[in-house]
Structure 1
Amino acid sequence: DGGETPASGFDNSGFIYYVLRENGYITCPRGVAAQSQMGAPKEYSDLAPGDLVFFSEGDSAEFGGIYTGGGVMIACLMPGTQVREVDITTSYYSSHFFCGVGII
């Protein structure tokens, strides 16, 4: 399983939580559904580096990451895996885009 610190390893929302808390967002919620509501939603075409980006197969955010620009996010997609760059321009991510949120 994953957690919210480098020592314990990350899960998906734990990575976002850790990065935001390390950058002064003390009130950051822990789950991706709540994280996706931290600010006004942004469309894919309006994403900027530092925005949070969320994806879903339903009607609430299910996983997310931090947009770095150029159609790429950094994320820990599964507990116990490394943080990595993910191309979000693929058909899967394009069709499952939920929202972006401008935070950083």
Structure 2
Amino acid sequence: MNIKSNFVKVTAAAALTLTGVATVSAVKPDSTTANVQAATTKVKINYVPGYGINIWDNYNHGHFTGQHAPHGTTWNVINQATDKKGRTWYQVGEGQWIMAQYTVPANSKKAKKVVKTTKTTTNATATTTKKAKKSVQATGDASAVITLASAQLGKAYVWGGNGGNGFDCSGLTSYVYSKAAGVNLGRTTYDQVKQGSTVSMDNLQPGDLLFWGSASAPYHVGIYVGNNQYIHAATPGQGVIKQTLSSYFYPSVAKRVL
């Protein structure tokens, strides 16, 4: 009887031990999965409607991959890093990095809003531009262009704006060249990139137009003002600003119209 009793006790203890191991093994994968999910961050690209931001292969001295993250799209952040200039970058894929400053949390309700111009302002501006229309071959004054562009610094980014309350990128260039030099560039980046002659990025002169994106259908434009700097209507959050040319956001083509 003692032998049988001891055998039963040993068997019961073994069963409890095996059950305990099985229970631990079942919990561990769930815990690991939970940690991975908690570490995943989602962000939304918040740049300019219809445009996107460049995707780079590294966050320090990276190269443009030729791909863009369109405005309004949501991305999973798998890593985060800070470059030598103190700027935050998000890794969204293997060899794919985007600048954090052009994103908001995916569930954010504080996304930057794009201001729309009123019909009255648009019509009034269109009338003024029409009166000032001249051939792009007209002699221009680069100094006057830079002076007028500088006077717009700090104004708001307004989607479709070309004067008055603010500007979008091509609205700013159209307004400045028309008012300062009597040159009609056209209203969109597609029109403006067809004007003047293409110049090397190593041979820029104040007053040259800088374009980003496709050489035939760019999505952004600014005015080179010298000293490796340019003025442009950047984003709804930044408005009209002056920036230094950077390899992280480098123009694809430059045009001389003056």
* Shorter-chain TM-score range: 0.7 to 0.9
User: How far apart, in 2, do the equivalents of 1:36 and 1:42 lie?
Assistant: 12
| Structure 1 outlier segments of 4+, above 4 Å | none
Correspondence 1:23-102 to 2 at 5 A: 23=180, 24-25=182-183, 27-56=184-213, 58-59=214-215, 60-79=217-236, 81-88=238-245, 90-94=246-250, 97-102=251-256
8 A Cα contact 1:55 1:98, kept in partner: yes
User: Larger relative CO (CA 8 A, sep 6+): 1 or 2?
Assistant: 1
Q: How far does residue 79 in structure 1 lie from its aligned partner after superposition? A: 4.4
Same amino acid, percent of matched pairs? 29
Q: Mind listing any 5+ residue stretches in structure 2 that lack a counterpart?
A: 1-114, 116-157
Aligned CA RMSD, in angstroms, stands at: 1.7
Q: Mind listing any 5+ residue stretches in structure 1 that lack a counterpart?
A: none
Q: How far does residue 101 in structure 1 lie from its aligned partner after superposition? A: 1.1
8 A Cα contact 2:197 2:257, kept in partner: no
Question: Which has the larger share of helix?
Answer: 2
8 A Cα contact 2:169 2:234, kept in partner: yes
Query: How many correspondences in the alignment?
Result: 98
Q: How far does residue 78 in structure 1 lie from its aligned partner after superposition? A: 2.3
TM-score by length of 1: 0.83
User: How far apart, in 2, do the equivalents of 1:78 and 1:32 lie?
Assistant: 15
The equivalent residue for 1:4 is 162
